[in-house]
Amino acid sequence: MGTESKRQQRFAGVIQQDIAELFQREGNVWAPGAFITVTRVRVTPDLSIARIYLSFLNTKTAKEDLETIKSKAGEIRYKLGLRIKNQARIVPHLEFFLDDTNEYVEHMDRLFDEISKEPRQPD
């Protein structure tokens, strides 16, 4: 996959900001008790599909919450359309993905902690 054009990056930024505000206001309806962060948005070159990466905090049911959000993608797209109607000709199709970067970082931190606790071998 090539690099994104300035146009794609700008449009992704608009979508990321508006989706983040939507989740801040209404995210509790879709994922009760979870704090949802929009970590990244990637847009196809024709701007017809937006891939949105979400991170969930304060929840043990991130995968279930993501499935709920996926099932509400049409409603979220409609609300996004109301927000960006003056900035975009079309509202892209929304695809949601789980951003598990935080879990990966925590896992690596645990591994490094275990390694540092092991006794060193003499050279």
Q: What is the mean pLDDT of residues 58-85?
A: 89
pLDDT at 19 > cutoff 90: yes
E-strand stretches of 2-122: 35-43, 49-57, 93-98
| Cα gap 8→47, rounded to integer Å | 7
Q: What is the mean pLDDT of residues 51-80?
A: 89
Per CATH, the homologous superfamily of domain 6-117 is K homology (KH) domain (3.30.300.20)
pTM of the model: 0.79
Across the chain, mean pLDDT equals: 86
Q: What is the mean pLDDT of residues 92-99?
A: 92
The percent of residues above 70 in pLDDT, for the chain, comes to: 93
Q: What angle do CA 68, 54, 95 make, to 5 degrees?
A: 65
pLDDT band at 17 (very low <50, low <70, confident <90, very high): very high
pLDDT band at 81 (very low <50, low <70, confident <90, very high): very high
| Cα gap 112→109, rounded to integer Å | 5
